[in-house]
Structure formats: structure tokens, C-alpha cells
Amino acid sequence: MTDPTVVESTMIHRVLRYAVSRGLDTGPLLADTGFTAAEVSNRDLLFPLAKAMALFDAVAEALHDPALGLSMAKVVAPTDYGLVGLLWDHHPTLDAALDALAHYYTAFLAGAEMRVLREAGRTRLVHRFLHEHRGLDYLRQESLASVYLNAVKASVTHWTPMAVTFRQQPVDPRPFLDVFGVMPTFGASDDALIIDPIHLTRDNPRADPELLNHLLEAAETHLVKRRNASGTQSRVLLLRGCSADLTSGMVHRGSDTLALTTKERELLVYLADHMNQVVTHEAIERDVWGIGKSVISHAPAVAIRRLRQKIEPQGPKPVNLVTVFGEGWKLVVPESS
């Protein structure tokens, strides 16, 4: 199956800047991996992940650096990772920043997943790709190393992870030990950073709620554009008075076009997967928000209300997303949809 994952030009420029800083002539590397000068200069283009990883692999071979991803992570700034990088600096805690990072990383990269798993006495940041490509090991290295290095930078004191694991086959562990402060485990089932939760709960003195809200809005807008530009086949849901593109997150209602936020789109996809069935508050908390029974949240009800504002036609009561009193909600979809 073809990998649908596409990446932004920031990834291409990041590795090219590093290659130039190490004295490489990037022209032959670009030509060998199928990039044209026009493509590289166009900041709005998206590139297949496989093509980007071929460039990473070519740079690593030219530099004889099996730890290219670590080398890059040590010298690049958060701004080099685009909006995802900027989101780091302004959350109230590192714990909240990790959640945002995992959410948007997974949303931006169709064939990748980043999850925050909170377990007894430890927090695991798990990083996965659905498809394998030559050179992908370097992106795995860079992703975990950049998360760790920026987390330490945002902390009051220096700390090391409890453990770090990589899917890749063993290489010289010394560069990994130098970056993470612990010996890596190679050949693991997942790339993962295991952290003592105590390091993630300290207040962030640089937190700026107003700026963070602007960044989150920009990320949502960018995500809609990215879905549209990726060429992903749309899944359209026909409702009374509107249609919703579950892939792009766009709702067409009469002459209006409304954009769903990421969480609204995820909620609507979940409801569409259970169309014409009653879905409980508990099920939405568990399957959409990832919240366990021990946590009480009003987030689903708030999201339902906002979603209705976009998918319901004018009228005294909802007809598409109805409340089943005492049980939950039901997305009413005609059989032809």
C-alpha cells in the first residue's frame, strides 16, 4: 500500500541547512534524490515522506553519520519545526505541551502516530510510522531527540529520561548516550521516550496563554489547508441541510463553508463511524479524548454544542445530531449517505 504521508518543505530545508553547515554541496544530493531547484524554492509544496527520507539518507551517507538525526536535533531551533515547534514554548506545563505535540504531529502526518501514554510512575511518548522507508531511522532519531532536548531547555533543571528505545538496528550507542544521558535500546517494538512524570508538571515561566491561542488557531487553519493540499481522497457525509467532508474538515451549508477544528472533525468522524447509533458521553470521552473513567470532563458536551453550530440547519431543534435523553447522542444520517 502506498504511503500517503507528506511532509512540509521545512523538513527539506532543515536537512539542507545542516548539510551546508557541514560543508556539503547539496546540488548533487538533490539531483540524486529527485528534487528540482523549483521544488525546493517553493515553500508551499508538500513532499512524499519517502522522497524526503531519501534525502536524509543521502546526507547521512555523504557525512558518514549513522546518527544524523541526533546531530541535527542538537543544532536546530524549535522554529525549524514550523508550527509544531512553536507550540512547545507557551503551554503552562511540559505535560500539556506533550499532549499538543502528539496531537498535531499525528494530525499533520497521515502515516505517523505520536502518543502520550501515562502509566504508573512513568510517561511514555511513543512514536510510530505505518510504512518503512530507507532513511526513516534518521527522522526517528531527530524526533525523539528534539522532543527531549527542547523539554530539557524548557525545564528549570537538567534531567535525563528513564529510558529511550528505537526500532532501528544497533549502531554506535555513544552519540545516543551523549544526547539522552542514558544508553539506548535498539531493535525495540517502538521508538519511545520514557520520562519520570515529575519533570513534566513544573510550571512553565514562559507560558503565554494569549499567544498559545493564536498558535493553536493557526495550527488548525494550517491543518485544514494541509489536508486539502495532500490530495487525500475525501469522505463526504450528507446530512440534512449540509454536507461534511470528513477528510478536509470542511462543512458546506447552503452558501457557507465552515471549517471544523481538529477535535470537532475527530468527533464527527467518530459519530459517523457509529451513525444512527446512540453514543454515550463515556464512550466519546474514552475513544475521542482518551479519558478514563476516573476523570470527569465536560469537553464532549462542549464539542457537541460547537459541532451543532456548524452542521445543523436553521431550526428550533437539532435534526442531524440529536440528544437521546439519559443515554447520549445520535448522528442521524440518511441511508444514501
pLDDT, tens digit, 9 for 90 and up, residues 230-288? 555 557 788 988 888 787 677 887 767 777 877 888 899 999 999 999 999 989 988 88
Model pLDDT, residue 271: 95
Q: Report d(CA 117, CA 299) in Å as an integer.
A: 20
Regarding whether 77 and 195 lie in a shared domain, the answer is yes
Mean pLDDT of 299-325: 90
Residues of the chain above pLDDT 90, percent: 46
CATH number at residue 319: 1.10.10.10
Residue 164 lies in a domain: yes
Regarding whether 102 and 146 lie in a shared domain, the answer is yes
Regarding whether 151 and 259 lie in a shared domain, the answer is no
Coil, helix or strand at residue 116 = strand
Residue 12 lies in a domain: no
Helices (H), the chain: 9-21, 26-32, 37-41, 49-63, 68-73, 82-86, 94-108, 136-154, 174-180, 209-229, 262-273, 281-287, 299-311
Give the Å distances, CA to CA, from 230 to 5, 53, 81: 8, 18, 19
Residue 162's domain spans which residues?
A: 66-200
| Burial class of residue 156, CB neighbours in 10 A (0-12, 13-18, 19+) | exposed
Model pLDDT, residue 29: 93
Residue 144 lies in a domain: yes
Regarding whether 143 and 77 lie in a shared domain, the answer is yes
Give the Å distances, CA to CA, from 255 to 242, 251, 310: 10, 11, 13
Regarding whether 195 and 84 lie in a shared domain, the answer is yes
Which distant-in-sequence residues (6+ apart) come within 8 Å of 112 by Cβ?
5, 105, 106, 127, 128, 129, 130
Q: Is the pTM of this model over 0.85?
A: no
Q: Select the more confidently predicted residue: 175 or 87.
A: 175
pLDDT at 111 over 90: no
pLDDT at 293 over 90: no
Regarding whether 78 and 179 lie in a shared domain, the answer is yes
Residue 287 lies in a domain: yes
Q: Report d(CA 11, CA 49) in Å as an integer.
A: 10
Regarding whether 196 and 286 lie in a shared domain, the answer is no
Model pLDDT, residue 82: 72
From 200, 220, 251, give the residue that closes a domain.
200
Please report which confidence band the pLDDT of residue 335 belongs to, taking 50, 70 and 90 as the band edges. low
pLDDT at 337 over 80: no
Residue 122 lies in a domain: yes
Q: What is the pLDDT of residues 212-239, one digit of tens each?
A: 888 877 877 777 766 665 555 557 788 9
Residue 145 lies in a domain: yes
Q: Which of 3-7, 129-133, 158-162, 218-222 has the highest mean pLDDT?
A: 158-162
Q: Checking phi first, is residue 23 left (phi over 0); if not, alpha (psi -120 to 50) or beta?
A: left
Mean pLDDT of the chain: 87
What are 134's three cell numbers? 530507507
